Structures are given as structure tokens and as C-alpha cells.
Chain A
Amino acid sequence: MPFQEIKLYQAGTFVAGNRLLDPEQRSVQARTGRSNSLTSGHRACQGCGEALGARYVLDAAMRATDGKLVAVNSTGCLEVFSTPYPESSWQLPWLHSLFGNGPAVASGVAAALRATGRDDSRVVGQAGDGGTVDIGFGALSGMFERNDDVLFVCYDNEGYMNTGVQRSGATPPGAATATTKALGPEPGNVFGQGKFVPLIAMAHEIPYVATATVAELRDLEYKVEKAMSFHGARYLHVFVPCPLGWRAAAADTIKLARLAKESGVFPVFEAEHGEVTEVSRIRRQVPVEEYLRPQGRYAHLFGDPGRPDVVARIQARADRNIARFGLLGEGDE
């Protein structure tokens, strides 16, 4: 991330206050002209990572497109907490159709904007992990494969939160959800093969794929602005803790997002045309346990006797991410 060199005065946090930065380096959120696309008054839970992520993503996209933006939203928490009529929180043109069709609806919007000579306007599609990696996956892959001019953003809270925290294809192994409770000999979600859609998006060799977390919001804004500098299909996968579904403290949303990255559980990187171009390196590696412990969905792993074997397997998956993406490599950060 080509940001200004700054000195960090605060120990233990890696966030630089805006006042330390040159004006042009300040975040979109810090600017008076920010669009407030998802404005206050919505019904998200306290500490909702998805609400935070969506606000940053859309305001950054609005800035990048000079306010010429249309948003398409799949069914899920984001759609529900931002409405109902007439109390819409959306201050940009916004369309919700169904749970599984967001990417295709967004393709239709992009086609219409082109066909009606309004291609100065751009489209962002957005959905939760369920709407992206499960039920909307065919439509997403089709949109990628056709290289339609859509930025699709997945807010990954690792489960079907809107319907009461059931397991999705993005729920990590070991995590307890309403359909993978801590019951029986193998409590929590199974160790499947995993379904990391950013890699699948890269396999489509689309112009731009990136992951981000709500712990590094300037990085998130930067990636949105970068995504909007490309035409064609783009994919942004944002890691957004859900205090309700993860049974974590509302105040820990940012901390958990940071620990997910610092433990290697969630790799943060950028890719262009199928090749990784940038990796956000781990600054101070932590064991996965530090990330897992504060979350009630993993409580069964730490009881008495606990499941150190499961924790070890989760650690092994993080280690694999670290090796695969070079998350500990010699870096300038």
C-alpha cells in the first residue's frame, strides 16, 4: 500500500490518526465531502463489522466514481438492517432483488447503464458470505467469466447471520453455529476442504481481486478505489466480524479482525489478472488461540478438557496461509 511513511507513536495499535497524515492521504471517512452512502439510523447490532465495512466500501466507491454509483444488494443482514421502507439508510441508488442473484442483477444494471449511454455510472454488488460463496456462487462465477463491469463485494462474517447464525460455506472449521453446534464427538463445523472464494475469483483471471478486513480501513478504502480504477469484473472479500454470531464483545470487532490477519487465519492480499501482486504481511504474529479465545463460537475448544487437537488443526491451516501467501516474508512493513 503506497502510503505516506509515518511514525507510529501509539504502542499496540497500528492505526495512525488522520491528523498525522497529509490531507490527500487522509481517509475518505475523514473528509467532509464523504457521501454517507449508508447513513446512520440503521438497525445493525452494536459493533457490526458488516455495517462498518459497507460504509467504508461505498463511500470510497462513491468518491472514486464522483458519486455516479449504483448499488445492488443480495438478501442478508446488510439488506435487512439498512431498510425497511421508508427508513432506508441508503443515500445512493440501491436495488435489492433476491438472496442468490446479486451478481446477475449487478450485471444487468451494468449492461443497462452501457446500453442507455450512462457508462459514466458504475455498479457495486454486495452480499454476505452466504449470498456470495454459496447461493449466489453460480451467478458470481458467470459475472466473473463474462468480465462484466461490476465490483462485487463479499462481507464475510462466516455464516448466515440474518437467519440466525447458521453455517455457510465460509464458516471455518471448529466454529459453532446454529446448525453446527458444539454437540457430539466432533463439536462445531467440520474440517471440509474450505471454500476460499478470493482464490476461485483469481482462477477466473479477472482484472482485480483483493481481500481486506475492517481492522485496516484505510487499506479497505484504498482497495476499493483501486478496484474502481479497473473496468471489468472485480472482487473484494472483506472480513467482517459479527459480534452476535461469533458471540464476541461488540467492542472487539476491530481487534478480532486484526487478530484474524495477524494470526494468518485470514490472508490479506491483492491480485491482478490471476496473480498475487501485494500481500499485507503479518506485523506481530499471534497464535490462533489468541484470535479464537475471545469468541463464544469457539468456546468448546477451550473448556475443560478442551480440544487442543482442533486448535492445532486450525493453527495448521493458518500456517498454511502464512506459507502460501508469504505472510511473514521479508517486508517493508
Chain B
Amino acid sequence: MRSQLEGSQAVARAVALCRPQVIAAYPISPQTHIVESLSDRVRTGELAGCEYLLVDSEFSAMSACIGASAAGARSYTATSSQGLLFMAEALFNTSGLGLPVVMTLANRAIGAPINIWNDHSDAMAMRDSGWIQLYAESNQEAVDLHVQAFRLAESLSVPVMVCMDGFVLTHAFEEVDLPTQEQVDAFLPPFVPQQLLDPDDPVTIGAMVGPEAFAEVKYLVHATQVAALDEVPAIAADFERAFGRDSGGLLKRYRLEDAETVVVALGSVLGTIEDVVDSLRDDGFRIGVLGITCFRPWPHDEVRAALGDATRVVVVERAFAVGAGGIVGQNVRDATRGLPVVVQDVVAGLGGRPITRTSLRGLFEDVVADRLDASHLHFLDLDVELVQRELARSRARRRSGPHAEHMLRDLGTVASGTPHGGG
């Protein structure tokens, strides 16, 4: 059924259609509308038989999901940013134990400075936590990825994180085609756990493992993720057969035929990038886009194949490894090792900074003209003068005070602009 819906509402409905049995969540912007809506659905009985735990923290949220999943319940949570980091220890535990918890991550920047707006630094910080990470380009895809995520998680006994850009998607009203309960039931069988806390057949879960088998247990976690490289496209193909929509999968290829330059990105920015690429194509540039839907596991071979004919790749990402460089870029460079291709890392859209068509067009023109130095990390629309003025202030006085305040004062912004109800 097609309806005009806020992204969060659409995702909450999709999650409800997947019949989670335990939800444990803690509010944080911009995830709040999702968990509020699910709370309503449990209270009204629409989501029958589901237990909703109003936990004391994100750490407890993920911990409750761990207990619930091990006790045989389909378990779900949602969070953002600081909340994801507060879960960090439990995230690794979920994947190490092989528990198929599904989570929505409404992507948001990580402080300090505290900032509620979108970027990918939360998801990227946890990229090696053993969770599968799927990135939605649109609200329709966010809906579809959730339905697929439960099936994927349970088929491999692995936790899955569906990433959707905070505010950009969670708070955007778009037309979304929601599946029916019958469709979802036919696609997603009831949860049959691989391991179960069962008094009639007691098992010990989570005991200590020493050097004699630790590497092998961890290897299996890796092997399961690698198996997901087959399972993700298989489930997406099944989904297309059942729902008539191409959603999910490992990669999105856009105008890659004969492309010399390829833009790599993930999440909602792909739409804007595709528009810019269309206009560049109109002007005769041989440029295309490779969207990464599945970032973990990393589809190394598929990325390599998709970029095999390109001579220039520019990775536009909403996060970076401080002191090192691009994160997705590093993975792309690894996938293209030995190929005659130059990979550029461009950090864009941090902390909610809009990624505009104009800026992207300028960037791509620079890339195509080989004006970008590939040995550097680039920041799109960085206010270099603002940075330099602050560096000068720091040099002038040892106790110069907090950077963030100075820079906002410099810009003439009085307060940091966090709206009420945010945070």
C-alpha cells in the first residue's frame, strides 16, 4: 500500500510487520520517532505479543536484546550516535555470541562537539563490531531493508544494523510502498533460534574460550559475514520476486557503463550524486556512481569488478578516520589494489552540513580534470579561513580556550543552534 509517510513511521510500521517479540530501546534524536511509534503499536495491541522494555540506557537496550534473542525471541532496537557508542561493548558481544538482533541506526554525528545532525561517524565507528551494516538510500529502501534484515539475521544467526540517515531520511515525508502483513509473513518465517536457553535442554552460552579455540570461534564470525556476501543478494532477489521491487543487495550500479570516473558513496546522498552525475553525463563526461548498500561484510570482489574499468574513483563519505583518512576510501583502495585507478577520499556532510549539487559538481569536475591531489584527504566545503583564524588564535595564546566556541563566535552564531527537544 502506497502512503505518504515520515521515514520513521514507515520504518516503525515495517518493523511491526516483521513481528518482533521483544523491543528494548532508549530514546535519542533522531531515532525517537521510530521507538515512539513502536511503543504505540505495542500499547494498542496492534503489535500483539511483543514485550517493549523501556530500558535505562542503550547499553541495557542491547543487553536486553542479547538476553531476549538467546531466549528465543525476535529482538529489535534502534539508536543513533552516542547511543550506538554506549552500546559498543554489547555490540561486539551480540556478534560474538551469534545472536540475530536487528537494529535501526538513525545515523548521526558523534560528539564532541555534541551535534544531533546526520553523518556516518556512528556507524563507521562500529564497522568492525561484527554486525552486518546495510545502508538505505531512501525511505522505501529503509522499509525494504528491515524486512530483509530480519530474514538475513536469522538465516545466518548474525546481528544486522540497518543504517538510515538521521533527519534526512528519518524525518522526511516521502511516498512509501508498505508491504502487507501477508506478504511479510510469507517472506519472513517465524524465528527458529540456532541456540536457545531452554530448561528442557540446558546449554551454556557465553562461557570463556582460551587461546586454543578463540581464533577459530572468531574466524567463524568472519566466515558468517563472508557467507552474507551470498546471502544478501539472494535475499534481495527473493525480495524482488515477492514484492516486485529491486531493493537491497550488495551494491547499486548507476550509469557505470563506459564510466572512466566513478563516485562511490553510501546512504541518502546517492540520490543527489546521481542527479549531478546525470547532468555531467549530459555534458559528455563519462561518469557513474557505485552505491554501497552492504558495507559490512565488505563486498571486496564485487567492488573490484564494478570499478575494474574506471581510471578515477572518488569516494564521498560522511565520516573519516581521524589522523588516518577516509574509511570507505581505504576499503575501496584495498578492493582496487593493483588496478590502474586513482582513488580520492572526500569527506562531506559532517554533522549535518548539506552536500549540495553545486559543491558536488565542482568536486567531480576537479576529479575529472585531475585537479585533486590523491595523496591528501579532502574535505568538501571546508571553511579553510575559519580553521586558519582559529589556529592563529591558538598560537597567540597558550590558554586560548575551547575551539568550538571561538569558531561559532567567529561565524557570528550566538549559541550552537541545537533545537529544543534535540539531543
Whether, in the assembled complex, B332 has its beta carbon less than 8 Å from a beta carbon of chain A, the answer is no
Whether, in the assembled complex, B66 has its beta carbon less than 8 Å from a beta carbon of chain A, the answer is yes
* Given A108-B75, A121-B199, also A96-B207 (CB < 8 A): yes
Residues 117-128 of A, flagged 1 when their CB comes within 8 A of B and 0 if not, give: 010010000000
* Given A95-B197, A96-B207, A108-B65, also A116-B56 (CB < 8 A): no
Inside 8 A of B116's CB, which chain A residues have their CB? none
A205 to B210, CA, bound (A): 42
A118 to B73, CA, bound (A): 11
Whether, in the assembled complex, A276 has its beta carbon less than 8 Å from a beta carbon of chain B, the answer is no
B56→A108 contact, CB < 8 A: no
B204→A104 contact, CB < 8 A: no
Q: Which of B46-54, B259-267, B352-360 contacts A (4 or more CB under 8 A)?
A: B46-54
The listed residue (B50, B53, B208) touching A83 by CB distance below 8 A is B208
Inside 8 A of A101's CB, which chain B residues have their CB? 59-60, 63, 66, 89-90
Contacting residues of chain A (286-329) with chain B, CB-CB under 8 angstroms: none
B53→A146 contact, CB < 8 A: yes
Please tell me the size bucket of the interface on A: 35 or more
* Given A109-B197, A111-B51, also A97-B209 (CB < 8 A): no
Inside 8 A of B369's CB, which chain A residues have their CB? none
Contacting residues of chain A (47-104) with chain B, CB-CB under 8 angstroms: 67-70, 72, 79-80, 83-85, 88, 90-98, 100-101, 103-104
A83→B67 contact, CB < 8 A: no
B199→A93 contact, CB < 8 A: yes
Residues 171-203 of B, flagged 1 when their CB comes within 8 A of A and 0 if not, give: 000000000000000000000000011110111
A304 to B73, CA, bound (A): 62
A76 to B394, CA, bound (A): 47
Q: How many residues in B have their beta carbons less than 8 Å from beta carbons of A?
A: 45
The listed residue (A103, A108, A121) touching B24 by CB distance below 8 A is A108
A107→B207 contact, CB < 8 A: no
A110 to B55, CA, bound (A): 14
B90→A97 contact, CB < 8 A: yes
B199→A94 contact, CB < 8 A: no
Inside 8 A of A274's CB, which chain B residues have their CB? none
Whether, in the assembled complex, A20 has its beta carbon less than 8 Å from a beta carbon of chain B, the answer is no
A266 to B212, CA, bound (A): 43
Contacting residues of chain A (105-141) with chain B, CB-CB under 8 angstroms: 105-116, 118, 121, 138-139, 141
A104→B67 contact, CB < 8 A: yes
B93→A98 contact, CB < 8 A: yes
A264 to B71, CA, bound (A): 41
Inside 8 A of B22's CB, which chain A residues have their CB? 108, 111-112, 115
Q: How far is the CB of B302 from chain A (nearest CB, A)?
A: 34
Inside 8 A of A109's CB, which chain B residues have their CB? 67-68, 70-71, 197
Q: How far is the CB of A122 from chain B (nearest CB, A)?
A: 9
The listed residue (B199, B205, B209) touching A84 by CB distance below 8 A is B209
Whether, in the assembled complex, B206 has its beta carbon less than 8 Å from a beta carbon of chain A, the answer is yes
A108 to B49, CA, bound (A): 14
Smallest CB-CB A-B distances: 3 pairs = A108-B67, A142-B56, A83-B207
Residues of chain A touching chain B, judged by Cβ–Cβ distance below 8 Å, are 67-70, 72, 79-80, 83-85, 88, 90-98, 100-101, 103-116, 118, 121, 138-139, 141-142, 145-146, 148
21 pairs from A and B in contact (CB 8 Å cutoff): A72-B67, A79-B207, A90-B204, A93-B199, A95-B70, A95-B205, A100-B59, A101-B90, A104-B24, A105-B66, A108-B53, A108-B64, A108-B68, A108-B70, A109-B71, A109-B197, A112-B21, A116-B21, A116-B71, A116-B73, A146-B53
